Amino acid sequence: MSHAAPEPRKTLDPDVVAQWLARHPDFFVGREGLLQQLRVPHPEARGATSLLERLVADLRSRAEQAEWRLEQLLESARHNEAQYRRTRELVLALLEAEDGDALGQALATQFSERFQTPALALWCPASLTDNEPRPPQAPRHVLDDHTAQRLGALLDGRVSRCARLTPTDWKRLLPHAPPPDKAGSCALARLTLGEPLGYLVLASPDPDHFRASMDTLFTEYVGDVVARLLVCLAPPRHG
């Protein structure tokens, strides 16, 4: 009594076949007809398709993914270039300031026009403003104990931070700017150069303009520039 030959799938391990084909990439040379007979699952539709059609579909998918990644890289490059140009114009405008008030005005103008930040405050300690011929003009203010405590609490021990800004805090930290009806957002930076030199506050009525998850490296960079300029522009102390 004869027995039917077992089906290949019951005797051949697919992994073993795959490894054997990987070690013999020339197996299909001279066996092109076999390639045309192979059927593989279609990547987008039910049923099977020829191996060649599947390869074409895979290549098309890879090309689309590569095109998408390239577009993402180009978009990132365009964003970085635009950010660099805005930062360059900001720093150049700050360097042209002749005194502390001009520095504050340049900050407010540049951030409003180039970074869509409608409100800004520059809080300086009395040691930087006492020798000036007139009181500081908005957006520059003399730092008092209550404001310093509130800014320190919002920073929570950090050099810079993005946070929500309630209408009450807005009135305290940006007294020259009309407060929004609801909570907005802000980016804060502590100004130091060997000693505390105040705080920089960037604010927006949009609660999502400055999100807590945002990186604050740019805010710290601007704060470092402003701190150095504040020292350079401060009148000499007497006595």
Distance CA 233, CA 193 (A): 14
Which pair of structure tokens corresponds to residue 5?
Answer: 């030959």
Q: How far is CA 79 from CA 72, 73, 76, 87, 190, in A?
A: 11, 10, 5, 12, 27
Given the structure tokens 């405050």, which residue do they identify? 121
The pTM of the whole model exceeds 0.75: no
Given the structure tokens 């946070």, which residue do they identify? 163
Whether 50 contacts 38, CB under 8 Å: yes
Beta-bridge partner residues of 202: 120, 187
> Per-residue confidence of the chain (239 residues) as pLDDT tens digits?
555 555 555 667 878 878 888 888 777 777 766 766 666 666 665 656 666 676 777 788 888 898 889 888 888 889 889 989 999 999 999 999 999 999 999 999 999 999 999 999 999 999 888 888 899 999 999 999 999 999 999 999 999 999 999 999 999 999 999 999 999 999 999 999 988 999 999 999 999 999 999 999 999 999 999 999 999 998 887 65
Distance CA 170, CA 162 (A): 14
190 SS3 class = strand
Length of the chain: 239
Whether 142 contacts 136, CB under 8 Å: yes
Which pair of structure tokens corresponds to residue 122?
Answer: 């520059």
Spell out the residues 6+ positions from residue 21 whose beta carbon is closer than 8 angstroms to its own. Answer: 27
Full set of structural domains in the chain with CATH: 70-233 (3.30.450.40)
Distance CA 85, CA 79 (A): 10
Whether 147 contacts 169, CB under 8 Å: no
The distance of Cα 210 from the centroid of its chain, to the nearest Å, equals: 11
Among candidate residues 163, 167, 141, the one with its CA nearest the CA of residue 153: 163
